[in-house]
A and B are shown apart, each in its own frame.
Chain A
Amino acid sequence: MNLLDNLLLGFQTAFSLVNLTYCFFGVTIGTFIGVLPGIGPLAAVAVLMPVTFYMDPTAALVMIAGIYYGAEYGGSTASILLNLPGTASNAVTCLDGYPMAKQGRAGVALFTTTMTSFIGGSLGILLLILFAPKIADFALSFRATEYVAVMLLGLIAAAVVTQGSAFKGLIMVAFGLILGTVGVDLDSGVPRYTMGIFELRDGISIVIIATGLFGISEMIFAIHGGRAAGSVQPVKLRSMLPTSKDLAASGGPALRGAAIGSMIGALPGTGVTLAAFMSYALEKRIARDPSRFGKGAIEGIAGPESANNAAAQTAFIPTLSLGIPGSPTMALLLGAMMIHGIAPGPLLMTERPDMFWGLVASFWIGNVLLLILNIPLIGVWVRILRIPYRFLYLGILPLICVGVFSLRGSYVDVGLVLGVGIFGYFLRLLHFEPAPLLIAFVLGPMLEENFRRAMALGRGDLLYFFQDPLGSVLLISTGLILLLAVAAPAFRWMRHKKPERPGFGSS
């Protein structure tokens, strides 16, 4: 089948009433949680995952994906109006978005972020369509050693680009991998770390890990932070019209942002937040007058917002073509696929073309819906910003409990969420970023399986991993990244500069 046939199949799938409805639900929920600070797309997907198990798998993925990229649209609203990032990846939008609002240009800022989001998102989808099938084709010939190499690269990348210390990110990877071994070992039938608890024989459910680490622990932190319901000025549609100078100034950054974002998003394991920050740094560096940045420069919101949406879309490239999550939320998407009995990997495109192309087509539909949701209906979202955080977390809390209970009617599972949530709180308190843990938890069992297979094929010789060129290149680059990540802070410390990268969040 050629590309056109595939796209046709995709749009046929995506335009079915069920998928269209769930696409709409997804992007609306995504915008909603994106707009509201204190809950990120990861937590939202985690909370809704139990519900998706009752849905048709394609519809479930369409909805999860919609929440994910929808949040990137909505997230800039709070950044601009309240100086509070709606999601972590919109933090950089505060820098120039909030000053713009203070200058009475909130409407223009909101219009610009939505338009550049659309530009970034569209380019991301285009690249996804062009490259994902090629990569999947190529990956069909992967052997176990190459899989191990790709997964290791993804894990190390996830640890290194995390906010906060890269070393702590590596600890989270190790921890996530070991949590992934809990349950009966499929190879030998031996139970591992089940402590005699029957419910642990199948391993810890990804829903429990995700809702505990991202829902519960984020909630405890956000309550602690105490967000007052802001007094937000209403935004009039007419005030959103940009001047021709605004348009001219934001075109270049949007395209450059889309390019940077697409590249970063396509790397396995990296999130969208890095893409936004890189784009901001670039725009500031190449600006004729960098001193304008931080005081309401439109380039400072156009670039990053395009970049994070492009990254959100290209994150699907490794996720759907290799089965390696392109971001923490993608790890959840893979988890949802596995629970539906669909094995992620390069075979997805040939075995379930309707699902892959339907999902891709739904992205176009979703992005157009988001454009409508975010420009004419902006007033609704601005009003939503006045919802106190209290009502938000009190709504999520019972949803998590019921959702986890509904997995298999187990009280132990709800107790596990409680435990994981408290533990996650202390991890965050100690500046451990839980995103790499989640990625490692999902990849762990696949990594172990492929490692065992590779070792059996290589007759126990570790050098077998360096027999094929691709695997070798990947392993060597992984090693170099690891070395750089560990050596750079040590070097900085020797120069008596304390590395300071505060903040946490999820994307």
Chain B
Amino acid sequence: MHRANARDLAAGILVTVIGLLFLAGAMGLRFGTTRNIGPGFFPIVLSIILIGQGILLTASSFKTPGDFPKIAWRPLLLVAGAIAAFIVALLFFGAVPAVMATVIVGSLAEGRPSFSIFALAVFLALAIWLTFVVGLGVPMPALRSPFG
């Protein structure tokens, strides 16, 4: 008995858990009969398929050993942070600051913000504002006071 393939083991467990969650979420839905299929039919059948696939993947992960892949925490957290910054900044300050915040937080995922990044942020903020707000008429204030 050797070590499991950590990547597939994790994948198998993840799929099984997702299947179980979707199955739990489908519990209140009517399954129906094959003649009159209810809203729960597809979700329940698919959740069961997912659970089965997850268990198979978990079982097969014990065939060959392997390491869990390295997670790129910095890009992951900072790209996520950049989107979160967009939501918060748009909510309180408007579109132009939101785009700039996204670019600046996002730039931290790889290296440090430099002058050129700041220039890019300003350029993108204006370009996006012109295209989406002025050009396409998306209802999105360019600037907004958090106290207004």
Contact B42 A397 (CB under 8 A): no
Of the listed residues A190, A223, A444, A459, the one surrounded by the most CB atoms of chain B closer than 10 A to its CB is A223
Q: With the chains together, A458 CA to B18 CA distance in Å?
A: 32
Q: Contact size class for A?
A: 35 or more
Q: Which of B12-67 contact A (CB under 8 A)?
A: 14-15, 18, 22, 25-26, 29-30, 33-39, 42-43, 46-47, 49-50, 53-54, 56-57, 63-64
Contact status A393-B49, CB under 8 Å: no
B44 to chain A, nearest CB (A): 10
Q: Is the interface of B mostly helix, strand, loop or mixed?
A: helix
Cβ B117 vs Cβ A394 within 8 A: yes
Q: Is A461 in the interface zone, CB < 8 Å from B? A: yes
B interface residues, tally (CB under 8 Å) = 67
**Residue pair A401, B83 in contact (C-beta under 8 Å):** yes
Beyond A193-B25, A223-B109, A415-B87, whether A171 also contacts B102 by CB under 8 A is: no
Cα distance, A100 to B12, chains bound together (Å): 43
Q: Do A220 and B75 touch (CB < 8 A)?
A: yes
A226-B128 contact, Cβ under 8 Å, with A51-B136, A421-B80: no
Say whether B120 contacts A395, CB under 8 Å.
yes
A interface majority secondary structure: helix
* A residues 239-259 touching B (CB-CB < 8 Å): none
User: Which residues of chain B have C-beta atoms less than 8 A from A397's C-beta?
Assistant: 79, 82-83, 102-103, 106
Q: Does A219 contact B (CB under 8 A)?
A: yes
B82 & A406 in contact (Cβ 8 Å cutoff): no
Using known A-B contacts A192-B43, A498-B64, determine if residue A168 contacts B11 with beta carbons closer than 8 Å: yes
A422-471 residues with Cβ-Cβ distance < 8 A to B are 422, 425-426, 429-432, 444, 448, 451-452, 455-456, 459-462
Chain B residues near A432 (CB-CB < 8 A): 11
Contact string against B for A residues 166-202, beta-carbon threshold 8 Å, 1 for contact and 0 otherwise: 0110110011011001000101101011010000000
In the assembled complex, the CB of B22 is this many whole angstroms from the nearest CB of chain A, namely 5
Q: Which 3 A-B pairs have the closest CB atoms?
A: A460-B35, A224-B72, A460-B34
Interface residues of A (CB under 8 A from B): 51, 54, 167-168, 170-171, 174-175, 177-178, 181, 185, 187-188, 190, 192-193, 195, 216, 219-221, 223-224, 226, 389-391, 393-395, 397-403, 405-406, 409, 411, 414-415, 417-418, 421-422, 425-426, 429-432, 444, 448, 451-452, 455-456, 459-462, 493, 498
Q: A397-B102, A397-B103, A401-B98 are in contact. List 15 more A-B contacts (CB 8 A).
A: A171-B53, A175-B15, A178-B43, A178-B46, A178-B50, A181-B43, A193-B43, A224-B75, A390-B117, A394-B107, A402-B140, A406-B138, A418-B84, A451-B37, A459-B35
